[in-house]
């Protein structure tokens, strides 16, 4: 189940990953990201709107022509969200996929995103 606030926040967040103009990207983050929000994935961490905007800009510089796209609905409960994404290479092929888990603050903007790359590993608790 997705609340309107969660869907709106994730939509603006996803558009920020596509925005190459720093001022426009920052404007999107002003709409969806908490001032002290924390982003963390296996290769990076960013704090605050400026930190996340810089992180996204660095990704774009390292991966020219690549696009991050949300490819699932936004699942939300009790202020927590999750959604699937794909990193598309410039030719449109899927280079990487993953899942983001997040938390909304009291104003309905993202306070935290924790990203995981790839599918879940095989095996169970005894593995």
Consecutive sets of 10 residues in the chain, 127 residues long: mean pLDDT of each?
82 97 98 97 96 97 95 95 97 97 96 96 79
How many of the other CB atoms lie within 10 Å of CB of 66? 15
Return the pLDDT at 81.
Answer: 97
Cβ(77)–Cβ(101) below 8 Å: no
CA 54/CA 48 separation, integer angstroms: 10
According to the model, what pLDDT value does residue 120 have?
Answer: 87
126, part of any domain: no
> What CATH code is carried by the domain that includes residue 13?
3.10.450.50
Give the per-residue pLDDT at 5. Answer: 86
Query: Does residue 64 sit within a domain?
Result: yes
Is 120 a domain residue?
no
Domain annotation covers residue 124: no
3-state secondary structure of 40: strand
| Structural domains of the chain, count | 1
Q: Determine the pLDDT at residue 127.
A: 60
Domain residues for 26? 4-113
Q: Is residue 100 part of a domain?
A: yes
Within a domain: residue 118? no
The structure's pTM equals 0.92
């Amino acid at each position: 189940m997705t609340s309107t606030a969660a869907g709106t926040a994730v939509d603006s967040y996803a558009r920020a990953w596509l925005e190459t103009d720093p001022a426009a990207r920052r404007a999107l983050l002003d709409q969806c990201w908490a001032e002290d929000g924390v982003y963390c994935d296996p290769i990076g961490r960013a704090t605050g709107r400026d930190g996340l905007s810089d992180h996204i800009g660095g990704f774009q510089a390292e991966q020219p022509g690549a696009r991050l796209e949300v490819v699932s609905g936004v699942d939300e409960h009790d202020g927590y969200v999750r959604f699937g994404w794909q990193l598309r290479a410039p030719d449109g092929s899927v280079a990487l996929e993953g899942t983001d888990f997040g938390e909304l603050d009291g104003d309905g903007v993202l306070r935290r995103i924790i990203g995981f790359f790839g599918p879940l590993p095989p095996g169970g608790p005894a593995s």
